[in-house]
Amino acid sequence: MTLGHDPTLLAWCITAAYFGAAGLTFVAGRASTDRRDRAFWLACAALLILLGFNKQLDLQGYITTFGRSLAKQEGWFAERRLVQGAFVAALGIMAAAVLASLAVWLRRSSATVKVAASGIVLLLAFILWRAASFHHMDVWVTHEIAGMRSGWWLELAGSIIMASSAFVFLRRNRGFSDKIMEVRG
For residue 118, pLDDT beyond 80: yes
Q: What is the pLDDT of residue 159?
A: 95
DSSP code, position 147? T
pLDDT at 9: 86
Q: What is the distance between the alpha carbons of residues 94 and 174, in angstroms, rounded to a whole number?
A: 36
pLDDT tens column, 147-180: 766 677 788 999 999 999 999 999 998 655 555 5
